[in-house]
Amino acid sequence: MHGFANPARFLRLARWLTPLLLLGGIVVTAASLTWGLVEVPPDRLMGDTVRILFIHVPSAWLAMAGWMTLAGAGLVELTWRHPLAGIAGRAAATPGAAFCAICLATGSIWARPTWGTWWVWDGRLTSFLVLLFLYFGYIALAAAAQQDGGHSRVAAIFGLIGAINIPIINRSVVWWNSLHQPPSITLGKSAIDPAFLWPLFAAMLGFTLIFGGVVLARMRAILADMQAETRLRRKARGAAEAA
């Protein structure tokens, strides 16, 4: 754990891991989406509309996994003061928010033909919209802390507090009567036919690999930015002393 907190060692690892994850993710995603969007038979009730499943569910998974990533990074940052943890949290926030927006958009498009409405304020939909706003809040806080030049722990604390929403999203369809159906996949049991389930798992894997690659790439970019900033500062200081 401490080994990876060393930025130089992290960069050496990330240099080859980033393209590997991105390329692997693109290949797996393209294959699984072709499988899901073209090959899979239509659903008994929804017909071809069911194909949105293969984008909606992986996006929902990554929107929640993304928040757990930045909450975990916040915990490590607060406790062990690892310099990379804060960077990891910031790097995960934007792709997480993007997947959250994709999930809400595809869900809305799916709801119109199946339920007969674009949006309802039931427990699942509302708690997921809250997650999107939490992402916006986290991104704004992290950006503000960065602008001050200092290293603020406010974003890390916010990430940990926001994590309370994740079990609420998960349980919202069980605790409250909602228009959204209850979970299809529970531990060891699935109400999704294998014909849909395998391409769905493949799409989730592909999306996750892309997410990991994007997070690593963004961490490298943030580290490079910080390095450039320090170099500029040093130069400016040197110039000021020489004058």
Partner 1 sequence: MANALKPKHQRLVLVIIALVALLAAGLLAAWALRNQASYFYVPSDMTAHPPAPDRAVRLGGMVEKGSLKTMPDGVTIRFIVSDGKARVPVSYSGIVPDLFKEDSGVVAEGKLGSDRTFHAATLLAKHDERYVPRELQEMTKAQARQTVAETK
6 binds partner 1 (CB under 8 A): no
Q: Which stretch binds partner 1 (CB under 8 A): 10-18, 79-87, 128-136, 220-228?
A: 79-87
Is 80 a binding residue for partner 1 by CB under 8 A? The answer is: yes
- Under the binding rule (CB under 8 A), the answer on residue 174 touching partner 1 is no
Interface with partner 1 includes 123 (CB under 8 A)? yes
Q: State the first-to-last Cα distance of the chain, in angstroms, to the nearest integer.
A: 45
In the chain, the amino acid numbered 20 is L
To partner 1, the closest distance from the beta carbon of 157 in angstroms equals 9
Q: Shortest distance, CB of residue 138 to partner 1, whole angstroms? A: 16
Tokens of 150: 């200092």
Q: Does 182 bind partner 1 (CB under 8 A)?
A: yes
Q: Which of residues 56-75 bind partner 1 (CB under 8 A)?
A: 75
Q: How far is the CB of 226 from partner 1 (least distance, A)?
A: 23
- Tokens 């939909």 locate to 125
Does residue 164 bind partner 1 (CB under 8 A)?
A: yes
**Both structure tokens of 61:** 């998974």
What are the C-alpha distances in Å from 36 to residues 115, 197, 220? 22, 10, 33
Q: How far is CA 30 from CA 14, 27, 34, 37, 204, in A?
A: 23, 5, 6, 10, 12
Give 189's strand partners: 186
Give the binding-site size for partner 1 (rule: CB under 8 A).
45
Largest CA distance in the chain: 78
Backbone angles phi, psi at 186, to 5 degrees: -120, 170
| Among 26-34, 92-100, 169-177, 215-223, the segment contacting partner 1 (CB under 8 A) | 169-177
Element (H, E) at 186: strand 185-186
Residues 29-48 touching partner 1, rule: CB under 8 A, are: 40-47
Q: How far is the CB of 8 from partner 1 (least distance, A)?
A: 22
131 interacts with partner 1 by CB under 8 A: no
Among the listed residues 96, 54, 46, the one whose alpha carbon sits nearest the alpha carbon of residue 71:
96
Q: Residues interacting with partner 1, by CB under 8 A?
A: 40-47, 50, 53, 75, 78-81, 113-117, 120-123, 160-161, 164, 167-168, 171, 175-179, 181-184, 191-196
